[in-house]
Amino acid sequence: MKPTFTLGRVAGISIGVHWSVLVMMLLVTEIVAVAILPVQAPTTSAAVDWVAGVLAAVTFLASLLAHELAHAVVARRYGMPADRITLWLLGGFTELGTNPPTPRAAFLVAGAGPATSLVLGAAFGGLAAGAALLSLPIVLREVLTWLGFVNAVLGIFNLLPGAPLDGGRLLQAGLWKRSGDRDRAAVSAARAGRFLGMALIALGVFQLVAGQLVSGLWLALIGWFLVMSAMSEESVTGLRGRLTGVRLRDVMSPAPVTAPSWWTVDTFLERVAEHDHHRTFPVVDMEGRPVRVLSLTDLVRVPEQTRGTTKLADLGRPLRPDGTAGPEDLLTELPAGTWQLSGRGMLLVVEGGHVVGIVNTHDVNRAVELARLGHLPRAGDGSSGEEPSQAGQSGQPGRSRPPGQEGQSTPSPYVPGQRPGG
């Protein structure tokens, strides 16, 4: 789920919003302004009801954000990147980036969200009681009561024991602690999530039949989302288990062709691009250290008359800190975005300051397919069977897959790193 726009940053965490959150806001506004206030506070005008509805929806969204922030802040305390939160139709999710290091960390990260929601529920409930004592307007009291109620529901619902709900993560942490096997615990929690999802769908259908259209559809939708997430988590975890112990050295295309930063576009086109089969290249400085990543698309943008003078150092994009890894790093321990690789093109494998290999979608897909066949990629057979480059350098650089082929065999990004907040 990519956010449609970013609201800003809180404590270094990027807060994104998906357009579908508007549907949720409309629904919440409508519930408060049409279903609750006219009944509980019949003396107030419709205009006041709608304003109160909008304020309730905004406060509810802030409560959801607090739930997600709690996950993210605890995750960061345990060294996980957790740098993006996205709010959408069914709640929010925090991308943890990596898996929790210990069962204890997993437990605390998962528990922080529902705990925050329950505390908020109690706080809003307390405020509502205070508003009643002080004889404040009944609309205010009703909105506070509703906010207390939904936060409590949010906390309790998310405690249901099935991944990817927080309760499923708590279960997973407990099983992990008891058995010492993280992947087996993840599969069990995902299975529980699948059954929970199916139960919610059944409940939703029952409500639909009973004439409760909106809540029935809502439950069924959440159930369907749970089933889908849990199934994808099960298969990713299964693959992760099979790829255990595979290091980047085993999957990388070794000794890739590199592009010297001081070369001009023309030189590069003649000496490398014409002969090499690849589309993306690491750009290295005089000392052979990687500094940028260059793709043929970047070269297309250079006007033909300046190709003889434009240096590669001014093209492509700077190397990001998470764009490199070491040859001994485990494939399954890479941060989610790196493991996914799509969009980024490739990961540079760097040793002693030099590029010793490239891992791209092709290489990850190959490892996954081999694992499905019951085999593992091993160092030394990293060749993708392509023609050696004629640029005087040996080896087989990696190649980005054309879009459209992606996702067929690449597992989805670590679903365990994403948690819907319901």
Instruction: Considering the complex, state which of residue 166 and residue 298 has its C-beta at the smaller distance from Zn ion.
Output: 166
In the sheet that 5-10 helps form, which strands lie side by side, from edge to edge?
A: 5-10, 13-17, 84-88, 91-95, 418-420
Instruction: Considering the complex, state which of residue 158 and residue 400 has its C-beta at the smaller distance from Zn ion.
Output: 158
Instruction: Considering the complex, state which of residue 13 and residue 346 has its C-beta at the smaller distance from Zn ion.
Output: 13
Instruction: Considering the complex, state which of residue 251 and residue 415 has its C-beta at the smaller distance from Zn ion.
Output: 415
C-beta of 255: minimal distance to Zn ion in Å? 45
Cα–Cα distances (Å) from 63 to 60, 91, 136, 159, 235, in that order, read: 5, 10, 23, 16, 32
What single DSSP character describes residue 411? P
C-beta of 90: minimal distance to Zn ion in Å? 12
- Give the whole-angstrom CA distance, residue 327 versus residue 220: 45
Q: Are 334 and 255 in contact (CB under 8 A)?
A: no
C-beta of 157: minimal distance to Zn ion in Å? 10
124 phi and psi angles, rounded to 5 deg:
-65, -40
Q: Are 75 and 109 in contact (CB under 8 A)?
A: yes
C-beta of 383: minimal distance to Zn ion in Å? 44
C-beta of 224: minimal distance to Zn ion in Å? 19
Does 71 carry a binding-site annotation?
yes
Establish how many alpha carbons lie within 13 A of residue 352's alpha carbon, considering only the half-sphere containing its beta carbon.
2
> E strand or H helix at 349, and its extent?
strand 346-351
Residues found near Zn ion in the complex (CB under 5 A)? 113, 158, 166, 421
Q: Which of 140, 180, 132, 115 is nearest to 59 (CA)?
A: 140
Q: Which of 154, 131, 145 is nearest to 66 (CA)?
A: 154
Q: Beta strands of 64-103 (E only): which ranges? A: 84-88, 91-95
- For the purposes of burial, counting CB atoms within 10 Å of the CB of 228, is it exposed (0-12), middle (13-18) or buried (19 or more)? middle
With CB atoms as reference, the residue minimizing the distance to Zn ion is 113
Instruction: Considering the complex, state which of residue 91 and residue 316 has its C-beta at the smaller distance from Zn ion.
Output: 91
What single DSSP character describes residue 312? G
C-beta of 118: minimal distance to Zn ion in Å? 12
> E strand or H helix at 144, and its extent?
helix 138-158
- What DSSP line would sit under 398-419, residue for residue? --PPPTTSTTSSSPPS-GGGEE
Instruction: Considering the complex, state which of residue 115 and residue 376 has its C-beta at the smaller distance from Zn ion.
Output: 115
Q: Show which residues are catalytic.
A: 68
Other CB atoms within 10 A of residue 210 CB: 10
Cβ contacts of 401 within 8 Å, gap of 6 or more? 360, 361, 362, 365
C-beta of 166: minimal distance to Zn ion in Å? 4
- Give the whole-angstrom CA distance, residue 168 versus residue 48: 40
Instruction: Considering the complex, state which of residue 112 and residue 139 has its C-beta at the smaller distance from Zn ion.
Output: 112
- Give the whole-angstrom CA distance, residue 39 versus residue 23: 24
Output the known binding site for Zn(2+): 67, 71, 166
Output the known binding site: 67, 71, 166
